[in-house]
Amino acid sequence: MGMLIEAGALLNDRFPRPTYPQQAPRRSLVRDQYRGAVEGLLGDLDRVLGCIRLGGFVNATPDFTEHPAVINGASDLMVAVFGDAGRHTRAAIGCSSLPRDIPVEIEGTFEAA
């Protein structure tokens, strides 16, 4: 087994909590930032042997129930970039607040060469 690394990404843009379809552009920003964070830690995405786990925290109102759908984009990106090695376990958690009022936080554990 290779070494394990952990990476995270925060979206620093503030916005009112819109409905799920209105969040699509911001989900793309989080995915791009997350990919950059992993690449920055390793210097090269080819060193990633697999994505072990992703966790996503969604800043949401009490009536919002689509937390997994918000985090799906990050999961989909891992499979798109790493193929079967990108399949992972995952948690999607709703929060009443996140640091600096960010809408989404993603954390992950990867196996790397």
Domain ranges of the chain: 3-112
Which CATH number is correct for 3-112, 3.40.50.10140, 3.30.1330.40, 1.10.10.10, 3.40.50.2300?
3.30.1330.40
Predicted confidence at residue 85, as pLDDT, reads: 93
Amino acid at position 71, single letter: I
pLDDT digits over 74-88, tens only?
888 888 888 999 999
pLDDT digits over 36-53, tens only?
777 777 788 788 889 999
Predicted confidence at residue 27, as pLDDT, reads: 58
How high does pLDDT run on average in the chain?
Answer: 76
CA distance 68 to 74: 10
Element (H, E) at 40: helix 24-42
CB atoms within 10 A of CB 4: 11
Specify the range with the lowest mean pLDDT, choosing from 20-24, 67-71, 80-84, 99-103.
Answer: 20-24
Sorting pLDDT into bands at 50, 70 and 90, what band is 16? Answer: very low
- Is the model's pLDDT at 14 over the cut of 60? no
Amino acid at position 10, single letter: L
Predicted confidence at residue 24, as pLDDT, reads: 59
Percent of the chain with pLDDT over 90: 14
